[in-house]
Amino acid sequence: MQIPYEILGKVFILLAIVIIISIGVALLLGAYSFKRKRILFPNFVLFMLYLFYGPAKWICRRFSIRDTIVDEILIELRNALMLDKFRKAKGLKVVFLPQCLRHPDCKARCDPIEGYQCKKCGKCDIGTVCKAAEKYGFRVFVIPGGSFVKKILKVHRPQSCIGVACYPELSESMQGVAAYMPVQGVCLLKDGCFNTEADVEEIIRKMEGSCV
């Protein structure tokens, strides 16, 4: 039996066009929701951008748009969708901070399950977040990597969390954590693997908002 390569090729091209158009629509809807603070078809946007994460970033670069907009859309939509549940959550509330926020001279010990134990020495913003967390009933974990999040979820079973990370890591982590609990994400102001900066005021606002 002869394989209809020509027909298969046309079907493939048609599917590719449909997918590209769908990604474009998802990006436009997400960008509109992001800028106007009015969510339109959030589940469709999240599904398309997570499923076609790489192609969506390629499309952005192709049209000279910064590709981090994909992560920003995913993070802000997830924040908006889970905000009400986050505020109503009971039980243990946690904040996950990346270890790259630590001061170069940090002497904190790293626990094999809970990550770095902040001494609140005042050399970096972690201490400020920890002090605010005590006020609003949160527990802070300074983690070296994503594997620590899984350990903490298993051992402590928190009921809600705030995650702080760079755009790509945060959008990916929020997708995974959202299956277990309501989550809020805050992007780093300055990313990288060393001497990064966090939006401390935004982190504290989210902690304060959970106590309303």
- Write down all domains in the chain, each with its CATH number in brackets: 5-65 (no CATH), 84-209 (3.40.50)
Distance CA 174, CA 159 (A): 14
pLDDT at 5 > cutoff 60: no
What is the pLDDT confidence band of residue 15, given thresholds at 50, 70 and 90? confident
Q: What percent of the chain has pLDDT over 70?
A: 92
pLDDT, position 159: 95
Distance CA 70, CA 60 (A): 8
Asked if 187 and 199 touch (Cβ cutoff 8 Å), the reply is yes
pLDDT at 78 > cutoff 80: yes
pLDDT, position 65: 86
Asked if 17 and 9 touch (Cβ cutoff 8 Å), the reply is no
- Overall size of the chain counted in residues: 212
Task: Cite the DSSP H helix spans in 63-166.
Answer: 68-88, 125-136, 146-156
The pLDDT of 168-191, averaged and rounded, is 91
pLDDT, position 147: 82
The pLDDT of 86-111, averaged and rounded, is 92
Asked if 29 and 44 touch (Cβ cutoff 8 Å), the reply is yes
Nearest Cα to 102, choosing from 33, 193, 200? 193
Asked if 163 and 94 touch (Cβ cutoff 8 Å), the reply is no
Nearest Cα to 34, choosing from 76, 3, 71, 62? 76
Q: Measuring CA to CA, how many Å separate 188 from each of 10, 53, 163, 169?
A: 44, 20, 10, 11
| pLDDT tens-digit series, residues 130-148 | 999 999 999 999 998 878 8
Distance CA 93, CA 137 (A): 7
pLDDT, position 32: 76
Q: Do strands 138-143 and 160-165 pair parallel, antiparallel, or not at all (unpaired)?
A: unpaired
Q: Which two tokens stand for residue 159?
A: 């009921």
pLDDT at 18 > cutoff 90: no
What is the pLDDT confidence band of residue 11, given thresholds at 50, 70 and 90? low
Phi then psi for residue 104, to 5 deg, are: -55, -30
**In the structure, how many helices (H) and strands (E) does the chain have?**
8, 6
pLDDT, position 4: 65
Distance CA 20, CA 13 (A): 11
